[in-house]
Amino acid sequence: MKTIYLDNAATTRVDERVLKEMEPYFIEKYGNASSQHLKGQEAKRALDEARHVIAKAINAKDDEIIFTSSGTESNNLALKGLFFANPNKKHIITTKIEHDCVLNACKWLETQGVKVTYLDADKEGFVNSDKLKKAITPETLVVSIIHGNNEIGTIQDIKEIGKICREKGVYFHTDACQSFTKTEINVKKQNLDLVTLNAHKIHGPKGVGALYIRNGIKITPLLHGGGHEKGLRSSTENIPGIIGFAKAVKLAEEKHIKQMARLRDELINGILQIPNSNLNGPKENRLCNNINVRFNNVEGEAIGGYLDAYGICSSTGSACSSHTLEPSHVLLALGLTPLEANSSLRLSLSRGNTEEEINKVLEVLPKIIEKLRKISPFKI
């Protein structure tokens, strides 16, 4: 049975061209980029070239890119590192629909005396600019708002948010792991101070991320060691992973966005033909690869289990939280009931998905929903 992989918001398949680009840095060009001999300098040149590729993709300067191990590490470095460097500013603003790593970092910072304001989102997941303005105080250090939401696909207007933060004199950090290469990120045009990126959502390897830090911003490192990455992230750089990250960025094209958006719309329109189904998140300003739908009174976990039996990989929310049976905090923040949140399913595309696969999903999913509704203890 052929696998139909529709969990690309969790992770993507490494592109074969990315893997090929990485291979020499495991077995031939394996030097440490901090070493002074030829092998080390060979690795250093490759590191510098990769940094340039990623910086150029977001209109940043090369020395504003710091490599990390993941989006989670980048988010923690941004928020905790800013606070440690600016301990007199004890107020952070974020939202109720952030990735768990941002919310949990903020909860930890609250134990250190930081006051955190968690902004509401509307029923489609958008943050209200006026409410953001009112929340900013003289004590505010940073506003951290996710760019493209990992569960419901909402793309925030980071240009407007960045403008507000710049006018108010506070830093603006955005988690762009899901949106990078799928929609515009321009750190100058959008007034961005810190941006979190990673590789494995864009057909690059796991275990490598990056943090854009605008020149002049003070960050205290979380890791102390040999002074790698401008002293902000000590640890021997993951050269093969970084090389793969840069190659994945190079391979991203506008045509892929259009293809995913077309298949996304076909899948959404087809699924919404199923009675009593509803789209979670917006129709417009939505990530090109994100579909999140609820089928009232049918458990999302059960739907996913049946889909898996057909070889279709799906998700009920963030993969980082899939070990818990708690309703999605993102969906609850939209105003959904716990029952509605637990009846939701996320399908997320990549450039590798095909029309044939979409048709297969639309063939089997209505049958699964019909079967589950017959045995559901809840009335529709």
CB 199 within 8 A of CB 245: yes
User: Could you list the active site residues?
Assistant: 320
| 133 vs 215: CA distance, rounded Å | 25
Written as one letter, the residue type at 338 is P
Give the Cα separation of 163 and 80 in Å (integer): 23
Per residue in 80-103, is it b (16+ CB within 10 Å) or e — as a string? bbbbeebeebbbbbbbbbbbbbbb
Q: Is 67 exposed, middle or buried (0-12, 13-18, 19+ CB in 10 A)?
A: buried
> Whole-angstrom Cα distance, residue 46 to residue 41?
9
Please provide residue 299's backbone torsions phi and psi, each rounded to the nearest 5 degrees.
Answer: -70, 130
Instruction: Tell me how many degrees the CA angle 148-152-153 measures, rounded to the nearest 5.
Output: 30
- Dihedral Cα 334, 340, 345, 346, nearest 10 deg: 0
